Amino acid sequence: MLVKDYMTREVASVLANSTLAQARELMESKHIRQIPVVDAEGVVQGIVSKRDIYAASVSNLTDNYERSKAILEGRLTVSEVMTGDVKTIDQNMPLAKAAVQLQELRVGALPVTEQGKLVGIISSSDFLGIAVMLLEK
């Protein structure tokens, strides 16, 4: 069982100069919690999560919360809040090894690369789906 057989291939990604608003909107539309950050050639530069965006946002107790949030998320870029030193894995890695890395690193997802370029992502949700599939057999 290899990562490439279970990863999400049509992975959403953003550029480092994208705004937090753009990243949040993409996450909401795709129903995902993290997005790889890539350069123009598709090389992974980092990853940004909903948690990163929430940590950079204004408190919902702030006066004019929605307006303040929109202004802040429109000004800040993904590069200002992303995790830059992100671990990636090769698509030909054994699935069990990827699961161990996900657990050891305590992250929700790992970008999957081929020759240094983003080709997919595998997340804790993917592994939960795999577990359900195996338990049903």
Question: Mean pLDDT of successive 10-residue segments in the chain (137 residues)?
Answer: 93 94 94 95 94 78 71 83 93 95 94 94 92 87
For residue 58, the model assigns a pLDDT of 65
Q: Can you say whether residue 20 is alpha, beta or left, with left for phi > 0 and alpha for psi between -120 and 50 degrees?
A: alpha
Predicted local confidence at residue 61, as pLDDT: 67
Q: Which CATH number covers residue 21?
A: 3.10.580.10
Torsion of CA 133, 117, 34, 15, to 10 degrees: -160
Give dist(CA 60, CA 69) in Å, integer: 9
C-alpha to C-alpha distance for 135 and 137, rounded to whole angstroms: 5
The predicted pLDDT at position 59 comes to 67
Range of the domain at 73: 3-136
Strand-strand pairing, 44-49 and 34-38: antiparallel
